[in-house]
Chain A
Amino acid sequence: MLQVPWQDVFEQTRRDFVFILPETVLACFGLGTLLLDFFLMKGEKSWNSLTAMVGVIMSGASLVVMLRGMGGQSYSAFGNSIIIDPFFIFFGFIFLASTALVILISVKYMEIEREQHGEYYALMLFATVGMMFLACGNDLIVLFVALETMALSFYVLTGFLRRDRKSNEAAMKYVLMGAFSSGILAYGFSILYGISGSTNLQVIATAVAERTSRFGHGDVLTILALGTVAAGVFFKIAAVPFHQWAPDVYEGAPTPISAYVSVASKAASFALLLRLFLTVFWPVNLDWVVVMEAVAVLSLTLGTLAALNQSNIKRLLAYSSITQVGYILLGLVAAVNPDGTLHQRGLQAMAFYLFVYAFFNTGAFAIVILLRHKGVIGDDIDDLNGLIQRNPGAAVLMLIFLLSLAGIPPTAGFFAKLLVFWALIETGHTYLAVLSVLYILPAVYYYFRLVAAMWVRESTDPVRPVISIAQKFALAAMAIVTLAAGIFPEQFLRLATYSLLAPFGR
Chain B
Amino acid sequence: MLFSDSHILSTILFTPMVGAILMLFIPRERPDLHRWMGNIFGILGLLVSLPLLWRFNSAMNAPRFQFVTDSLWIRSIGAHFTLGIDGLSFLLVMLTTVLGPIAILSSWSAIQKREKEYYILLLLLQTGMLGVFMSLDFVLFYVFWEVMLVPMYFLIAVWGSERRLYAAIKFFLYTLAGSVLMLLAILAIYYYRGTFDIREILMHPFTAQYGWLQKWLFWGFFFAFAIKVPMFPFHTWLPDAHTEAPTAGSVILAGVLLKMGTYGFLRFSVPMFPDATVKYRWIIIVLSLIGIVYGALVCMMQKDMKRLIAYSSVSHMGFCTLGIFALTPLGLSGSIIQQINHGISTGALFLIVGVLYERRHTRLISEFGGLSTPMPNFAAVYLIVTLSSLGMPLLNGFIGEFTILRGVFEVSWQWAAWGVLGVILGAAYLLWLYQRVMFGNITNPANEHLPDLNAREYATLLPLVALAFWIGIYPKPLFDVLDKPVHELVERVHPGYYSAPALTPRAAAEAEAPISMALPAKVPLAKAPLVPSSTSSPAEVR
Give me the interface of A with B, judged by CB distance under 8 Å.
337, 343-345, 348, 388, 392, 403, 408-410, 414, 418-419, 421-422, 425-426, 430, 433-434, 437-438, 440-441, 444-445, 448, 452, 455-456, 488-490, 493-494, 497, 501
Contacts and interface: CB of A to CB of B under 8 A. Distances in A.
A452 B157 CA distance: 8
Given A403-B150, A444-B176, A456-B165, A493 B183 contact: no
12 contacts: A337-B534, A345-B538, A345-B541, A388-B117, A408-B147, A408-B150, A409-B147, A425-B191, A433-B187, A490-B76, A493-B76, A494-B76
B173 A488 contact: no
A445 B169 contact: yes
A426 B74 contact: no
B157 A344 contact: no
B187 A441 contact: no
B76 A408 contact: no
A426 B177 CA distance: 22
Contact of A437 (B146, B157, B183, B541): B183
B142 A409 contact: yes
B191 A444 contact: no
Interface in B156-197: 157-158, 164-165, 168-169, 172-173, 176-177, 180-181, 183-184, 187-188, 190-191
A interface majority secondary structure: helix
B77 interface: yes
A411 B184 CA distance: 18
Contacts of B76: 348, 489-490, 493-494, 497
B154 interface: yes
A448 B77 contact: no
B59 interface: no
The 4 A-B pairs with the shortest beta carbon distances in the complex, nearest first, are: A493-B76, A409-B143, A437-B180, A344-B538
Given A337-B534, A445-B169, A497-B542, A456 B158 contact: yes
Contacts of B172: 444, 448
A422 B190 contact: yes
B319 interface: no
B28 A488 contact: no
A343 B538 contact: yes
B187 A422 contact: yes
Most chain-A Cβ atoms within 10 A of its Cβ — which of B147, B181, B538? B538
A392 B164 CA distance: 21
B276 to A, nearest CB: 18
Given A408-B146, A409-B146, A452 B541 contact: no
Interface in B446-465: none
Contacts of A426: 191, 532, 534, 537
A348 B180 CA distance: 21
B180 A438 contact: yes
Interface string B67-109: 0000001111100000000000000000000000000000000
A392 B28 contact: yes
Contacts of A337: 534
B265 interface: no
Contact of B187 (A425, A438, A490, A494): A425
B153 interface: yes
A456 B169 CA distance: 12
A455 B158 contact: yes
A497 B183 contact: no
Contacts of B73: 488, 490
Contacts of B183: 418, 421, 437
Given A344-B542, A345-B537, A425 B184 contact: yes
A489 B79 CA distance: 11
B270 interface: no
A392 B23 CA distance: 14
Interface in B130-155: 139, 142-143, 146-147, 149-150, 153-154
Contacts of A440: 176, 180
B174 to A, nearest CB: 9
Given A440-B176, A456-B158, 11 more contacts: A345-B538, A408-B146, A422-B77, A425-B184, A426-B191, A430-B184, A430-B188, A437-B183, A444-B172, A445-B169, A494-B76
